[in-house]
């Protein structure tokens, strides 16, 4: 994700064309390190995003909507005071460094014209947004850097703004490719891409790799050992690259990790030929907004998924602790039948037992060998009272056994349910799917009232995964437990085929039969799909049960996704991601 000096040049040129002469209308600070400025330019409204995020520092137009805090932060209030209603007179960058300045003219409280500079420094974790007056005096910054953080360069209110130390590299606009490459070939023992990176301002590792790729150079070969034809090729490619930069012949693009073009991994203002999955955009602003919008969505999905995962794991831990206590309780009452035997033997021998004795040895007429058994007694109680005492202990232990057995059964069922939800969460790929799992947990009482109220119940439910078998049959897969119930119990017909991994958390899978006989090949494919959408996703031998939907019933009071079924058959399969992608129809 190289927001390098070349990207800065392209974005500044676009911003300058639109923003010069524009008016600042509103200023917001939705995040601690992010500013959004509403701007009116050439009869249109724009939202300019400036971010000093350590991970994603940037500046570009955006159409994203973000919630703002009820009370604006201090830096936001300061920007409003000095910049609201102001006119942007220019946008500049400095010598291919990742520093962009917005020049603003505005009226102060006395109605006098003042000039301010809003500077964004795009420098990884050292990124910052700084407001200065026309003399370069810092009014404030989104991040304060005092002398304890940096003795070289303080960024504090009242201090003079000093630019970060310049890099000792060549300006791309001043490079003569032949001379530059000849010098490198004579003096450089590193790889070509490292030489380019270390000696040209604004170049990122991505751009350097692109140049060596286009030149056909093996990145394992040192610069000094380059054959003449490769050196000539490098000169030609570098010349073309520099010309594109100087003439602003930009082709903004985003690189994706796969052909589905779902996950962006890189971007640049120059075309990238080293990658297979590239999408081009009309402007660098649009490319950046699309890239970071998806990154933001993925980040929020990751965070929300982590939050839901924590809820599930906390409840699984609670269930495990509860189950351990219940198992301990069961061990404590495991001798309950012995207590009953003592009472019965004492009652049968009531008149032969001496009073005030501490124990008695009695014939156990239940044993095959007529063994004698030693029974402890309370000498302060009569034999009859001792017998009653054992019967009471037996009844108490029996009652504890029955109630604890029922509790254990409920605990195990709850754990099975939570394991199923955990599997559904693992399968989630969108924010909506995560929210549906979260909503289910809320409705089942696993989220607090505050978290429950934050869920938007008006959102349209997502649809099941849709596959098409090689024989042309539709195969549907539930994405969460509520969708499993809806799919199996409401949407499927009684003659459709239902599949589920045996005793393994996973999705309900339905083959739409249309009252036709289902070929073995479709059954096998559906079973593989069921195994893939289960906890056994990485197993090589997964049992999958299948039956007609009419044989699937939901027990009264059962949690979402929990069903009973009979008259089933089992097929053993291995999940196959390649087949999953091939049969995907949604």
Is there a contact between 134 and 142 (Cβ–Cβ < 8 Å)? no
Output the pLDDT for position 81. Answer: 95
In which band, very low, low, confident or very high, does the pLDDT at 306 lie, cut at 50, 70 and 90? very high
Is there a contact between 501 and 536 (Cβ–Cβ < 8 Å)? yes
Q: Cβ neighbours of residue 525 under 8 Å, at least 6 residues apart?
A: 467, 469, 470, 475, 579, 583
- How many Cβ atoms sit within 10 Å of the Cβ of residue 288? 27
In which band, very low, low, confident or very high, does the pLDDT at 82 lie, cut at 50, 70 and 90? very high
Q: Give percent of the chain above pLDDT 90.
A: 74
Which one, of 115, 112, 105, 108, lies nearest residue 137 by Cα?
115
Q: What is the mean pLDDT of residues 465-469?
A: 96
**Does the domain at residues 172-278 carry the CATH identifier 1.10.8.50?**
yes
What's the chain's average pLDDT?
Answer: 92
Is there a contact between 88 and 20 (Cβ–Cβ < 8 Å)? yes
- Report the C-alpha gap between 49 and 38 in whole angstroms: 9
In which band, very low, low, confident or very high, does the pLDDT at 1 lie, cut at 50, 70 and 90? low
Q: What is the mean pLDDT of residues 176-203?
A: 88
In which band, very low, low, confident or very high, does the pLDDT at 410 lie, cut at 50, 70 and 90? very high
Delimit the domains of the chain by residue range.
Answer: 5-141, 172-278, 333-414, 465-583
Q: What is the mean pLDDT of residues 308-312?
A: 95
Q: Concatenate the DSSP letters of all residues of 374-411 into one string.
A: EEE--TTS-HHHHHHHHHHHHHHHHHHHHHHHHHHHHH
Architecture of domain 5-141: Roll (2.30)
The SS3 assignment for 564 reads strand
Q: Cβ neighbours of residue 190 under 8 Å, at least 6 residues apart?
A: 198, 222, 223
In which band, very low, low, confident or very high, does the pLDDT at 459 lie, cut at 50, 70 and 90? low
Q: Is the dihedral of CA 203, 208, 209, 215 positive or negative?
A: positive
Q: What pLDDT, in 10s, does the model give residues 282-297?
A: 999 999 999 999 888 8
Q: What is the mean pLDDT of residues 455-479?
A: 85
Q: How deeply is 267 buried, as exposed, middle or buried, from its count of CB atoms within 10 A (0-12, 13-18, 19+)? A: buried
Output the pLDDT for position 457. Answer: 54
Output the pLDDT for position 427. Answer: 86
In which band, very low, low, confident or very high, does the pLDDT at 370 lie, cut at 50, 70 and 90? confident
Query: What is each CA distance from 132 to 119, 128, 136, 481, in whole angstroms?
Result: 8, 13, 5, 56
Query: 390 or 1: whose pLDDT is higher?
Result: 390
Output the pLDDT for position 113. Answer: 92
Element (H, E) at 60: strand 58-61
Query: What is each CA distance from 165 to 18, 99, 154, 466, in whole angstroms?
Result: 30, 12, 13, 56
Q: What pLDDT, in 10s, does the model give residues 110-164?
A: 888 999 999 999 999 999 999 999 999 999 999 999 887 777 789 999 999 999 9
Which one, of 37, 13, 202, lies nearest residue 90 by Cα?
13
Output the pLDDT for position 561. Answer: 92
The model carries a pTM of 0.72
Q: Cβ neighbours of residue 272 under 8 Å, at least 6 residues apart?
A: 206, 210, 253, 255, 266, 278
Is there a contact between 73 and 142 (Cβ–Cβ < 8 Å)? no
Output the pLDDT for position 452. Answer: 53
């Amino acid at each position: 994700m190289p927001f390098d000096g070349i990207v800065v040049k392209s974005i500044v040129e676009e911003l300058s064309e639109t923003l010069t002469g524009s008016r600042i209308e509103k200023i917001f600070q939705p995040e601690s390190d992010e500013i959004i400025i509403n701007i009116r330019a050439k009869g249109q409204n724009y939202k300019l995003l400036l971010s000093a995020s350590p991970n994603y520092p940037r500046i570009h137009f955006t159409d994203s909507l973000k919630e703002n805090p009820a009370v604006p932060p201090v830096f936001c209030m300061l920007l409003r005071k000095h910049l609201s209603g102001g006119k942007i007179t220019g946008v500049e960058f400095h010598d291919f460094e990742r520093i962009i300045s917005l020049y603003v003219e505005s009226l102060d409280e006395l109605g006098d014209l003042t000039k301010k500079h809003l500077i964004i420094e795009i420098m990884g974790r050292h990124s910052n947004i700084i407001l200065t007056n026309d003399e370069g005096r810092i009014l404030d910054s989104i991040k304060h850097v005092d002398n304890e953080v940096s003795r070289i360069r303080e960024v504090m209110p009242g201090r003079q703004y000093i630019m970060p130390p310049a890099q000792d590299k060549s300006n791309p606009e001043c490079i003569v490719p032949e001379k530059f490459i000849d010098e490198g070939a004579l003096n450089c023992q590193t790889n070509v891409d490292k030489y380019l990176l270390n000696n040209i301002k604004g170049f990122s590792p991505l751009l350097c790799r692109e140049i060596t790729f286009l030149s056909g150079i093996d990145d394992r070969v040192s610069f000094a050992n380059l054959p003449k034809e490769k050196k000539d090729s490098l000169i030609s490619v570098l010349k073309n690259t520099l010309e594109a930069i100087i003439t602003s012949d930009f082709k903004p693009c985003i690189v994706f990790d796969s052909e589905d073009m779902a996950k962006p991994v890189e971007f640049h203002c120059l075309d990238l030929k080293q990658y297979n999955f590239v999408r081009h955009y009309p402007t660098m602003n649009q490319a950046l907004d699309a890239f970071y919008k998806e990154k933001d969505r993925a980040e929020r999905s990751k965070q929300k998924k982590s939050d839901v995962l924590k809820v599930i794991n906390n409840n699984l831990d609670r269930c495990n602790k509860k189950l351990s206590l219940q198992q301990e309780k069961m061990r404590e009452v495991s001798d309950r039948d012995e207590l009953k035997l003592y009472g019965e033997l004492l009652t049968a021998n009531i008149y032969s037992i001496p009073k005030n004795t501490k124990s008695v040895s009695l014939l156990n007429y239940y044993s095959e060998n007529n063994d004698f058994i030693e029974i402890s007694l309370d000498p302060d109680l009569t034999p009859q009272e001792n017998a009653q005492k054992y019967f009471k202990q037996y009844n108490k232990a029996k009652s504890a056994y029955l109630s604890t057995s029922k509790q254990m059964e409920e605990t195990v069922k709850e754990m099975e349910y939570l394991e199923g939800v955990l599997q559904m969460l693992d399968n989630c790929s969108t924010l909506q799917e995560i929210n549906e799992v979260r909503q289910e947990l809320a409705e089942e009482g696993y989220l607090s009232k505050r978290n429950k109220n934050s869920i938007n119940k008006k959102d349209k439910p997502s649809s099941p995964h849709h596959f098409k078998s090689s024989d042309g049959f539709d195969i549907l897969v539930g994405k969460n437990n509520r969708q499993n119930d809806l799919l199996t119990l409401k949407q499927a017909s009684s003659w459709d085929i239902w599949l589920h991994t045996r005793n393994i958390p996973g999705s309900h899978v339905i083959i739409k039969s249309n009252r036709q006989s289902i070929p073995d090949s479709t059954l096998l494919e559906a079973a593989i799909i069921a195994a893939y959408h289960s906890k056994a996703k990485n197993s090589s031998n997964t049992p999958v049960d299948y039956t007609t939907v009419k044989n699937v019933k939901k027990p009264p009071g059962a949690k979402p996704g929990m069903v009973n079924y009979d008259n089933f058959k089992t097929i053993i399969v291995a999940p196959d991601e390649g087949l999953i992608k091939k049969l995907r129809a949604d």
